[in-house]
Structure 1
Amino acid sequence: MLAYVLAAAALLAALVFGVALAAVARRRSWSYLLVALALGTLLARALVGVLTMESVLDPDLHHVLEHGLDVAMAALVIAAVAVTRDARGGPA
């Protein structure tokens, strides 16, 4: 069952990441790139899960990587908001 959940998560994350990259190609802005990279962390999380399930990654490393990806996602979203606010001349 876990294998199916991880496969579905990876497939859907790849689809969302692909759509985000298409938006970056169309809009060509820093904020779109940062959001796309944040969404890419969802794909990375799914891949970490698959590698852990296949015993390629140690469970402790899995735990550290998952939390690291959470921090990366939050930082990328915050950076996208900051870039957008600066570009529009909003409060810093």
Structure 2
Amino acid sequence: MASKKVTITLAEEKLAAVDKLAGKGDRSALIEAAVTDLLERVERAQRAVLWLADRARAEHPGEWEQALEAVKAADARRGYDAAAADAGQDQAA
């Protein structure tokens, strides 16, 4: 897999912890491993949510629709824009 050099900013104490874990090794490798782990956990969580949503939709269709409407109403009260969030541009406080 191709790599690209990037610049990141970390709090000094977090950088010290990274360096302590990496030892004389590769700081980039440790950070890449941490990011890979996080992305895998997020993907598994998303699949779990989709599975639960599919099950709820199939087993309790009326309740599912009510729940969706309640979430949409709560989002509207908070000023959450789901379309912007899907595009990576959520402006919610």
TM over 0.5: no
Normalising by structure 2, we get a TM-score of 0.39
- Report the TM-score when normalising by structure 1: 0.39
Question: Which structure is higher in RCO with an 8 Å CA cutoff and minimum separation 6?
Answer: 1
Q: Which is richer in helix?
A: 1
